[in-house]
Amino acid sequence: MTAARSARYRSPRHRQSIVRAQHFGLYLFLFTAALFFSIPLLIMISTSLKTAAEVRAGSVFALPVEPGFAAWTRAWGEACIGRTCEGISAGLWNSVIILIPSTVLSVGLAALNGYALSLWNVPRAGAILAALLLGAFIPYQVMIYPLVRMASTVGIYGSLPGIVAVHVIFGIPVLTLIFCNFYKGLPPELIKAARVDGAGFFRIFRRIVLPMSGNIIIVALILSVTGVWNDYLLSLIFAGRDNLPMTVQLASLVGTRIGVPEYNVNMAATLITALPPLLLYLLSGKYFVRGVTAGAIKG
Amino acid sequence: MTQITIRNAERSYGALKVLRDVSLDIADQEFAVLLGPSGCGKSTLLSAIAGLDDLQSGEILFDGQNVAGVEPADRDIGMVFQSYALYPSMRVRDNLSFGLETQKLPKADIRKRVEWAADLLQITPLLDRKPSALSGGQRQRVAIGRALVREASLFLFDEPLSNLDAKLRTEMRVEIKALHQRLGATFIYVTHDQVEAMTLATRIAVINGGVIEQFATPEEIYNRPASLFVAGFIGAPPMNLIPAVVRSDAGQAYAQLADGALTIPGLTAADGTEIVVGIRPEDLALCEEGEAADLTGKVVVAELLGADTLVWIEVAGQRIAVRLAPEDADRLDPVVRLRATADRISVFDAASTKRLELTR
């Protein structure tokens, strides 16, 4: 055997130690990356658990000496936004009221659109899809003024229907593309078989297509829920004074300039506001990844 | 009771003409097979009959009634697809009953029909399973069952067996044939597999490039192919096709081959006409001692098929298949002399590729 050849045939133990070193390197990298991305979150949590005096005295990175939820209760129910001192709990209900119709309508309509565009012979389906793509990538700030004028002409400006309509309009393009891509992967013979069986457009959608759409509906819901929940600008403009959601309330709270800024309360309020989408990701992350890849491979 | 007439059907996708002036008459209770290579338009024709795809011109008549604009569900058809197209989220039972529910049949009727079809196809134990828990053969049975419960008078099959393995395919072929005899309905069956076509059909329509080359019984298609395409498509191996020129000698026309001459009784084509002589492998035999040979060539290779042996022989630069008894094939000389069974020879016009009728 030559030297070069014997070098290639290494002992099993040697190979094992190489594998172990590679794993160590991999985990070290992953750990550092995770730490890096979670630092802001960790600081927020630690600050929110401190007392006001501790925040003023110590460094941002210092851990709370006597952790407590005083700041959280203040943020939830006592902190002053403008002249009212009810915390941000009032905004939660508004957010939910805006969220539910907006997501249900936009996901439902997008699923129906995607089904029609991908599985039925819609005239000029290609042009419609191109228009949707364009709609999904134009920055929405550009369209705000025309939308304000349109909403006030129809008489829904500054009301719940107004903000819901705007969310649905901005949600539909990208959600339709997602559904369209997913449905294109379904065998067209399925629709043919159902047509021979006498089912029409809506019955096929309800009985055959929707039951197969579980994963992709979850993906669409996550995108839609986070989009609507985290929105600030559209709600500020279109929702009207009575329907301001948590995000807008939070901005007012953080922006209030009376007395000493209560960083611990601000952090707690921010965390409370960010909690719903965060929980949604944690609970449905598995479906999200599965749905995204299903769409990617079949589309 | 369904008799189908197709008149001058045309269909094209953009510049691609898929069906060119197709006319076909399918009798009641017939088992018609549409046979052709992939992309020949056979599935498009079936889709048009089902009403799933529109024709650009021409018409389709069911029992003399034009069905243009009639929805697939109202054409009284059952259809089986190549990919089975079972509804994945429904149990087998619901797959079968879905079409009946849309027809708003009474529940008792639906149950009776589902049980009848399940019993006929031996899928009763599978009724509460989802399609994903079935094997390929079982899915195929469910797909056929879904067509059966409709109690239609016309059944359409779009390459239903091509996703099954060879053994299962043979079994299902026999079952489909039995089903046809039992139901007394009209069957139209699309396939690219000539064995399926030959075994199942009462008549075969051989389609090539959107044109029907021949529509006839399996015997007729095999023995008297109407064109060079049919001759070269049917049979395994297909007919030997040997180019030749018509010459005449004292008023008797014969085929001048590249290497030798072949007397064909009844050949009347004009002197100098370029023709193609078609001879099936089983219509060639070894010459007896002292007998005049039609073809002479070198043995290339012999393939034992079991009942007989296929011997490939090179004649004037062309390979020709000869079907021989295994014991004859075992003791072949390197050069063999062959004679053709004269009254089984087919002759085609080289220019038009059509069959030339012989006066016998």
* One domain for residues B254 and B200: no
Q: What is the CATH number of the domain that holds B283?
A: 2.40.50.100
End-of-domain residue from the set B183, B199, B232: B232
Smallest CA–CA separation between A189 and chain B, in Å? 6
CB pairs under 8 A between A and B: 62
A contact test, residue of B49, B70, B81, B94 with most A CBs within 10 A: B81
Provide the pLDDT confidence category of residue A290 given band limits of 50, 70 and 90. low
Q: Which residues in chain A are contacts of B52 at CB distance < 8 A? A: 192, 195-196
Q: In this structure, are residues B46 and B186 in contact, taking their beta carbons and an 8 Å threshold?
A: no
pLDDT tens column, B239-249: 999 999 998 88
Nearest CA in chain A to B158: A189
pLDDT tens column, B24-56: 999 999 999 999 998 889 999 999 999 998 888
Looking at the predicted complex, does its ipTM rise above 0.90? no
Mean pLDDT of chain A: 85
* One domain for residues B209 and B266: no
* One domain for residues B156 and B177: yes
End-of-domain residue from the set B189, B217, B232: B232
DSSP secondary structure of A156-211:
-TTSHHHHHHHHHHHHHHHHHHHHHHHHHTS-HHHHHHHHHTT--HHHHIIIIIGG
pLDDT tens column, A44-86: 898 888 888 888 887 878 888 878 888 888 888 877 776 777 7
User: pTM for the complete prediction?
Assistant: 0.80
Report domain extents, chain A.
1-43, 89-298
State the DSSP H helix or E strand holding residue B322, giving kind and residue range, or none if neither.
strand B318-324
* One domain for residues B264 and B336: yes
Residue A260, pLDDT > 80, answer no
Domain-located, residue B355: no
Neighbours of B266 (CB within 10 A): 14
Domain-located, residue B228: yes
* One domain for residues B161 and B17: yes
End-of-domain residue from the set B181, B204, B232: B232
Q: Which B residues, 66 through 105, put their C-beta within 8 Å of a C-beta on chain A?
A: 71-74, 77-79, 81-83, 85-90, 98-99, 102-103
Contact B87 A207 (CB under 8 A): yes
* One domain for residues B219 and B247: no
Domain-located, residue B196: yes
* One domain for residues B68 and B150: yes
Q: Which two tokens stand for residue A200?
A: 């029409």
Q: Which two tokens stand for residue B52?
A: 């799933």
Domain-located, residue B359: no
* One domain for residues B222 and B241: no
* One domain for residues B22 and B128: yes
* One domain for residues B124 and B207: yes
Contact B73 A203 (CB under 8 A): no
Tell me how far the alpha carbon of residue A131 is from its chain's centroid. Answer: 24
Domain count, chain B: 2
Out of 1.10.3720.10, 3.40.50.2300, 3.40.605.10, 1.20.1730.10, select the CATH number for domain A89-298: 1.10.3720.10
Range of the domain at B108: 4-232
* One domain for residues B209 and B62: yes
Q: What is the CATH number of the domain that holds B101?
A: 3.40.50.300
Domain-located, residue B360: no
